[in-house]
Amino acid sequence: MQNELTHNSIGMASHSSNSLELTENLMTGNVLAGITLVTTDNSLISKNDIRESENGIFVDPESNDNRIESNKAQRNRVDLNNANGLATNIDQNGFSDNNCQISNPSGLCTS
C-alpha cells in the first residue's frame, strides 16, 4: 500500500499468490507492465494509479476470481489486459469502476 514504483521492467508482479491486496500505489514508466498477475487468485487490485507502460494491469489466463476495481490506468498502450482478450466470464476476474481508455477485451474501462 502507498508505494511508488517507477522505471522498472514491471512495477509489481505477483506469481502464485492468493488473497493479495494491492491498493493505493503509484506506478509510472514501467516498461512491460505496472501490475502483472500470474497464477494469482482471489486478490483485490484497487485504487492504484498506473501510467506509461505497455500494459497498465495484465492478468494472465491462469489467474482467477480477482477483483480489479477503482484503478486509474492511463497513457499505457493497453490500460487493462485480461489474458490478451480472454472473456472475463471464463476466468471470473471482475473489472469495475476503472478509469481508463483502452482495454483488452474492450469494455473493461468505465471512462
Note the pLDDT of residue 27. 98
Domains of the chain: which residue ranges?
A: 4-101
pTM as predicted: 0.96
Whole-angstrom distance, CA of residue 38 vs CA of residue 73:
19
> To which H or E segment does residue 33 belong?
strand 33-38
Question: For 54-111, how does the pLDDT look when each residue is reduced to its tens digit (9 = 90+)?
Answer: 999 999 999 999 999 999 999 999 999 999 999 999 999 999 999 999 999 999 999 7
